[in-house]
Amino acid sequence: QVQLVESGGGVVQPGRSLRLSCAASGFTFSSYGMHWVRQAPGKGLEWVAAVSYDGSNKYYVDSVKGRFTISRDNSKNTLHLQMNSLRAEDTAVYHCTKEDYDGSGSYTGHWGQGTPVSVSS
Amino acid sequence: DIQMTQSPSSLSASVGDRVTITCRASQDINNYVAWFQQKPGKAPKSLIYAASSLQSGVPSKFSGSGSGTDFTLTISSLQPEDFATYFCQQYKSYPLTFGGGTKVEIK
């Protein structure tokens, strides 16, 4: 079955960087788009970024454009999120998600448990 | 960006009750809506996609309907394991956006 295991979260000072990783298994990783979605403490879900199956297309929410970079290594079945210039408002649990295709569109069908990121001085 | 307005933000219900949650999109999104269930400390779980299609393995007490801008998730007979928070998501266009969530609590 699909397994998505995130790592790399932690406590970091404002302005510093962090790199999240997601190890994927149970499906053909190189055939699916992947996303990061975050959830701030006590808040709802916010989509952060997506990358196409081959890494050629990337999409970001406006609040992270220019600071975060999504990437993937299909040879290692791994998704990454490089987060630079971190801000307090980036504090959240970050979930790795796998796209599922409904015949005409793609949604975030499978989710990992998430890795917590806390940005604090 | 497409806004998803979800209501109610919380509700109290009893075991056996029929529960309906609504999401309204700020523009026509055809049927590009998914619904998720989240329990405390757990990852969200997909219930419904394409507005009304049941995700594999999800019990048939969950159903979705709607098209265009108005969507509903219905739980036909609430059971103890259904007390959780539910979110809608539109995937018509980027950025993907979620509703604010509905917390379903025990009355």
| pLDDT (tens digit per residue) in B59-74 | 999 999 999 999 999 9
Q: How many CA atoms lie within 13 A of A31 on its CB side?
A: 6
Q: How far is CA A54 from CA A30, A72, A75, B78, in A?
A: 7, 8, 11, 42
Q: Note the pLDDT of residue B106.
A: 87
Mean pLDDT of chain A: 97
Residues A96-121, mean pLDDT to the nearest whole number: 95
| Angle at alpha carbon of residue B90, lines to A48 and B39, rounded to 5° | 70
B5-50 pLDDT, tens digit per residue, is 999 999 999 999 999 999 999 999 999 999 999 998 899 999 999 9
Q: Note the pLDDT of residue B41.
A: 87
Cβ separation B46–A95 shorter than 8 A: no
Backbone angles phi, psi at A31, to 5 degrees: -100, -5
- Asked if the model's pLDDT at residue A75 lies above 90, the reply is yes
A3-17, A95-109, B61-75: least confident range:
A95-109
Instruction: Grade residue A71 by pLDDT with cuts at 50, 70 and 90.
Output: very high
Per-residue three-class SS string for chain B: CCCEEEECCEEEECCCCCEEEEEEECCCCCCCEEEEEECCCCCCEEEEECCCEECCCCCCCEEEEEECCEEEEEECCCCHHHCCEEEEEECCCCCCEECCCEEEEEC
Closest residue in B to A113 (Cα) is B43
Per-residue three-class SS string for A33-47: CEEEEEECCCCCEEE
Q: How many CA atoms lie within 13 A of B70 on its CB side?
A: 1
Residues shown for chain A: 121
Question: What's the gap in Å between the CA of A11 and the closest CA on chain B?
Answer: 19
Do A110 and A5 meet the contact criterion of CB atoms below 8 Å apart?
A: no
| Tokens encoding B66 | 């709607």
B→A interface, C-beta within 8 Å: 32, 34, 36, 42-46, 49-50, 53, 55, 87, 89, 91-92, 94-101
Q: Note the pLDDT of residue B62.
A: 98
Cβ separation A47–B99 shorter than 8 A: no
Local structure of residue B1 (DSSP, 8 states)? -
Chain A residues with CB inside 8 Å of B21's CB? none
- Asked if the model's pLDDT at residue A103 lies above 90, the reply is no
Nearest partner of B104 among B83, B88, B87, judged by Cα: B83
Q: Note the pLDDT of residue A73.
A: 98
Chain B residues with CB inside 8 Å of A107's CB? 32, 34, 46, 49, 89, 91, 96
Chain B residues with CB inside 8 Å of A6's CB? none
A17-68 pLDDT, tens digit per residue, is 999 999 999 999 999 999 999 999 989 999 999 999 999 999 999 999 999 9
Q: Note the pLDDT of residue B72.
A: 98
How many Cβ atoms from other residues are within 10 Å of residue A62's Cβ? 8
